[in-house]
Amino acid sequence: MKRIGMLTSGGDCQALNAAMRGVVKTLVNAEEKIEIYGFLDGYKGLIYSRFQMLTGKDFSGILTKGGTILGTSRTPFKLIHEPDENGVDKVEAMKQTYHKLQLDCLVILGGNGTHKTANLLREEGLNVVTLPKTIDNDLWGTDMTFGFQSAVNIATDAIDCIHTTAASHGRVFIVEVMGHKVGWLTLNAGMAGGADIILLPEIPYDINKVIEKIEERDRNGSRFTIIAVAEGAISKEDAKLSKKDYKKKLENYSYPSVSYEVAAKIQEKTGREVRVTVPGHMQRGGSPCPYDRVFASRLGAEAGKLILDGQYGFMVGYKNREIVRVPLEEVAGKLKMVSPDAAIVQEAKLLGISFGD
């Protein structure tokens, strides 16, 4: 008998259910006797011992379902060692829940912050296997995360829809894309949607270069310009600020987001009409695309095999088109950024896309 704990932490995304289903189906098809403890709302469920006993039947019919059947929440790693409002030691509470239930393994699905905590639990002696979930595709040690391709599809659809109204009115349109501190989602959706300008956190922009591209399109007879802006995009001026000074600026920020600042500066300098569209959490929602269904299922199957093999302390990743096992200590605390010199960036420039640099 194997007792498996399972939780989803951080922001939700497509294919979380597909990945969990892959783990459970692998264990069930191996005729392994298992008990599944589904912890509710991420690490909070593990801290406060809130869980549901689940069976293989609970994971039937969820391949195409978005979100997570276990619920999720954010438990910031920087606060993990601080007691909660009732004085509960979070790390000690998670260990106690694990040992009280006599778990053989924790299966944890999440992104960067989630993996930091998962690695901490590994260091505390718990058996942990993780799966790479994030629409940002910024986890170290894997070429792809599940949820990313579904989010690219949604963000691309948004840009596609903006094209017709932008062309009709001859406007500059900005589509703000999620991605936190990295630009993978914006880069891929921008290229797929035919954006003329793509602004990424990793490539600080010069607003004058952005305007040059808009004016170049005007001279060439294009009545409109589409700009894909990552939510973490930053200007060259702001990139020169210290973290302290930049944080101070954000505290007194007069715009809802960077996209509105870019829009205001374009309007001020050119007199052009600019509109901003923010798809927001739509990018996390809905049914996973076929790619993510297959990909998450493969990752889940490998996680199930790790459990059957008694191999713990790994994230199941994807490198060079192969499913791989990556030691957790190599993943935690690292971000996979877009390099300004990356081939995909250089190829985008060959296509005439401006990055404002």
Concatenate the DSSP letters of all residues of 178-242 into one string: --TT--HHHHHHHHHTT-SEEEBTTB-B-HHHHHHHHHHHHHTT---EEEEEETT--BHHHHTS-
Tokens read off for 48: 């406060």
- Domain coverage including residue 155: 151-284
- Tell me what pLDDT residue 248 has: 83
**CATH number (domain holding residue 32):** 3.40.50.450
Summarize the confidence of residues 33-61 as an average pLDDT. 95
CA distances from 28 to 46, 300, 307 (A): 24, 13, 12
- Tell me what pLDDT residue 279 has: 95
**Are 30 and 143 in the same domain?**
yes
Q: Are 128 and 122 in contact (CB under 8 A)?
A: yes
Summarize the confidence of residues 133-152 as an average pLDDT. 97
- Tell me what pLDDT residue 32 has: 77
**Are 40 and 125 in the same domain?**
yes
Q: How many whole angstroms separate alpha carbon 164 and alpha carbon 166?
A: 5
**Are 165 and 298 in the same domain?**
no
**Are 143 and 17 in the same domain?**
yes
With b for 16 or more beta-carbon neighbours within 10 A and e for fewer, the 148-168 pattern comes to bbbbbbbbbbbbeebbeebee
Helical axes 90-100 vs 112-123, angle rounded to 10°: 70
Please indicate, yes or no, if residue 348 is contained in any of the structural domains.
no
**Are 216 and 262 in the same domain?**
yes
Q: Are 173 and 311 in contact (CB under 8 A)?
A: no
DSSP state for residue 321 in the 8-state scheme = T
Would the pLDDT of 291 be above 90?
yes
DSSP state for residue 138 in the 8-state scheme = -
**Which of 223, 249, 284 corresponds to the end of one domain?**
284
Which of the four pLDDT bands, split at 50, 70 and 90, describes residue 45?
very high
**Are 232 and 180 in the same domain?**
yes
- Tell me what pLDDT residue 354 has: 98
Please indicate, yes or no, if residue 354 is contained in any of the structural domains.
no
Please indicate, yes or no, if residue 310 is contained in any of the structural domains.
yes
- Tell me what pLDDT residue 35 has: 94
Q: Specify the pTM.
A: 0.94
201-233 pLDDT tens trace: 999 999 999 999 999 999 999 989 999 999 999
Would the pLDDT of 162 be above 80?
yes
**Are 103 and 235 in the same domain?**
no
**Are 142 and 158 in the same domain?**
no
**Are 185 and 225 in the same domain?**
yes
Please indicate, yes or no, if residue 339 is contained in any of the structural domains.
no
Would the pLDDT of 309 be above 80?
yes
Tokens read off for 121: 């639990």
Please indicate, yes or no, if residue 56 is contained in any of the structural domains.
yes
**Are 169 and 188 in the same domain?**
yes
Q: How many whole angstroms separate alpha carbon 13 and alpha carbon 201?
A: 22
Dihedral, 212, 214, 215, 217 alpha carbons, nearest 10: 120
12 assigned to active site: no
**Are 143 and 292 in the same domain?**
yes
Active-site residue among 41, 136, 138, 292? 136
Summarize the confidence of residues 161-166 as an average pLDDT. 92
Which of the four pLDDT bands, split at 50, 70 and 90, describes residue 31?
confident
Beta strand pairing status for 2-8 and 34-39?
A: parallel
Q: How many whole angstroms separate alpha carbon 4 and alpha carbon 14?
A: 23
Q: How many C-alpha atoms does 355 have within 13 Å on its Cβ side?
A: 26
Please indicate, yes or no, if residue 350 is contained in any of the structural domains.
no
Q: Report the SS3 class of residue 340.
A: coil
Domain count, the chain: 2
Q: How many whole angstroms separate alpha carbon 214 and alpha carbon 196?
A: 9
Please indicate, yes or no, if residue 244 is contained in any of the structural domains.
yes
**Are 280 and 155 in the same domain?**
yes
**CATH number (domain holding residue 254):** 3.40.50.460
Q: Are 299 and 291 in contact (CB under 8 A)?
A: no
Would the pLDDT of 20 be above 80?
yes
Would the pLDDT of 294 be above 90?
yes
